[in-house]
Structure formats: C-alpha cells, structure tokens
C-alpha cells in the first residue's frame, strides 16, 4: 500500500469546551469548529504541500522505503475510520481529499500536510509497538492538524507579525522566511506548541468519535514520552510531554462521553 484514499478548536477548556461540544454530545453536530484563514492562498499552500510530499516520496522511493510491509491492514482500517469522522466535521472538511502515504523509513514518525496528506512510517508502529487505538491517536492527531489548518494559521500569524498592515507576501515567500530566518521561527514557537496541544485534544476526540477507547489512545503519547530524548535546538516546536499528558487528562471525560455515544447511540 502506498496511498490510501478514502477516507476553531481553541484551548480554553472547562466551560468553553463543554459549550463548544454540547451540540455534538447531544448527537446534533460535529465535534470541531473549523477555522478559516482567508489571507492565506489555499491553492498555493496545497501546491507547496504537494511539492513537499513529492520530495518526501522520492527520497523514500530511492531508498526502497516507500510503501508498507507489515501493518497494511491495520493502517488501512484506522485511516478509514478516522477520516470517516473527519469528513463529518462540517464546512470544508467534507471536501478534503485524504491520502495516507506509508514508508518504512527508520526513525521517521508521522507528519501531515495541507490538503489531506498524512505520512507515517511503519518504523514508528514497530519501534513503539503501537496498538490499533494508539495508532488511531497518531493518525487522528495528524488529521486534526489538517482540519484545524495549523499550517495556514502559522503563516497567517507570521505575515501579520513580519509585515506592516496591508502588505502581503506569497506562501512561498513565507516558507522561505521560515527556512532561513531563525527569528521567524522563534516568533511562532508558542503558536506551534499550542497547535500541538490542539491537535492532541482534537485527535483524542476524533479517535473517540471513530469508536476508539480514549485511555487506550492516550497510551500512545505515554510511549512517545518514554522514548523521547532530551530537547535540543533553538526552537521547541512541541510542548513538554508532561504538559501534553496533563491536557489529555483534562479532555478525557469528554472523550469518554464521545466514545460512549459513538458506540452506543
């Protein structure tokens, strides 16, 4: 298997979370409130993502690492279930062309790209010994990044902080800024960390809506934390694992209710 086709949530928990999710918990709507970033050219963003994906695939193909070998059925099953509920989130979510690209690249984890592309390495599944619910959390986390348009949000914020009002730059220019300007990355460090927290919470809820037990999904993050090395580098794109786990504990009661409704409507 190479491709599998088929198949604004903000932190502020407690009352805000309950209010946002109440219609869905009553069986009357999607779980996530999806944002829009009209200042960012969506077509250009997807073209950039397509170029990035093509390069990633080319490297894996040359190395003989493109495609799955051991976990094809589980990957297909999880991807189908998660993307099915992703399409139910309203708005543009129903039009996303979801694709899963599987590699066997050692040391590679999972990533998402605008437009619906999720890349995952079987090495991640094997090295962590991921169960199906744990894999569901990983894929749902990446799907949440796409649904919540975190790439567009980061570029929108970068443009707003780099330039005077009424001055715009292309998607390609903004990515070039991130490639060559460490200061630009530092500007969006806190935003990237918040995006990870959002993707964790939204991913847990999406996985629950797909019928996966929240506590079993959460253990994926525990396994990643156990194997996490000390941080290095100038910019920390991910928050501390203790913070991520604490946040999931706060979301757990809602996720449990979501899976109850999903499996016993």
Torsions phi, psi for 100 (to 5 deg): -110, 125
CB 85 within 8 A of CB 79: no
Assigned domain for 114 exists: yes
Query: In this structure, is residue 23 part of a structural domain?
Result: no
Angle, helices 72-86 vs 189-209, to 10°: value is 100
List the chain pLDDT tens, one digit each, 265 residues: 333 433 333 334 333 444 445 444 444 457 888 888 888 999 999 999 999 999 999 999 999 999 999 999 999 999 999 999 999 998 888 889 999 999 999 999 899 999 999 999 999 999 999 999 999 999 999 999 999 999 999 999 888 887 655 667 889 888 888 887 777 778 888 888 999 999 999 999 999 999 999 999 999 999 988 876 544 455 567 888 999 999 999 999 999 999 998 887 6
Q: Does the residue 168 lie in any domain?
A: yes
How far, in Å, CA of 199 to CA of 190, rounded? 14
**pTM across the whole model:** 0.86
Total domains in the fold of the chain: 1
Task: Let me know if residue 21 belongs to a domain.
Answer: no
265, with CB counted inside 10 A (0-12, 13-18, 19+), is exposed
Other Cβ atoms less than 10 A from the Cβ of 244: the count is 21
Phi-psi region of 105 (alpha: psi -120 to 50; beta: other; left: phi over 0): beta
Tell me the residue range of the domain where 167 lies.
3-8+28-263
In a domain, 14, yes or no: no
Nearest to 244 by CA among 253, 252, 235, 255: 252
Is 20 part of any domain?
no
**52, 113 contact by CB (below 8 A):** yes
Side-chain half-sphere exposure of 41, counting CA atoms within 13 A: 14
Would you say residue 232 lies in a domain?
A: yes
Residue 133, in any domain of the structure: yes
């Amino acid at each position: 298997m190479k491709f599998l086709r088929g198949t604004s949530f903000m932190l502020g928990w407690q009352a805000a979370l309950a209010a946002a999710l109440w219609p869905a918990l009553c069986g009357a709507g999607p779980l996530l409130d999806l944002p829009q970033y009209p200042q960012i050219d969506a077509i250009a963003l997807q073209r950039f993502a397509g170029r990035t994906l093509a390069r990633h695939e080319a490297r894996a193909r040359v190395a003989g690492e493109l495609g799955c070998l051991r976990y094809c059925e589980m990957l297909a099953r999880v991807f189908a279930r998660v993307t099915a509920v992703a399409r139910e989130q309203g708005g543009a979510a129903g039009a996303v062309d979801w694709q899963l690209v599987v590699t066997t690249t050692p040391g590679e984890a999972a990533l998402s790209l605008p437009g619906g592309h999720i890349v995952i390495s079987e090495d991640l599944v094997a090295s962590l010994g991921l169960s199906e619910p744990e894999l569901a959390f990983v894929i749902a986390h990446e799907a949440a990044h796409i649904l919540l348009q975190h790439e567009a949000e980061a570029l929108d914020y970068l443009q707003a902080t780099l330039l005077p009002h009424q001055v715009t730059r292309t998607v390609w220019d903004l990515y070039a800024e991130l490639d060559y300007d460490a200061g630009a990355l530092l500007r969006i460090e806190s935003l990237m960390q918040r995006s990870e927290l959002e993707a964790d919470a939204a991913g847990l809820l999406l996985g629950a809506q797909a019928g996966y037990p929240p506590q079993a999904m959460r253990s994926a993050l525990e396994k990643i934390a156990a194997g996490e090395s000390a941080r290095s580098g100038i910019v920390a794109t991910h928050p501390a694992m203790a913070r991520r786990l604490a946040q999931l504990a706060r979301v757990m009661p809602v996720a449990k209710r979501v899976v109850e409704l999903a499996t016993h409507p």
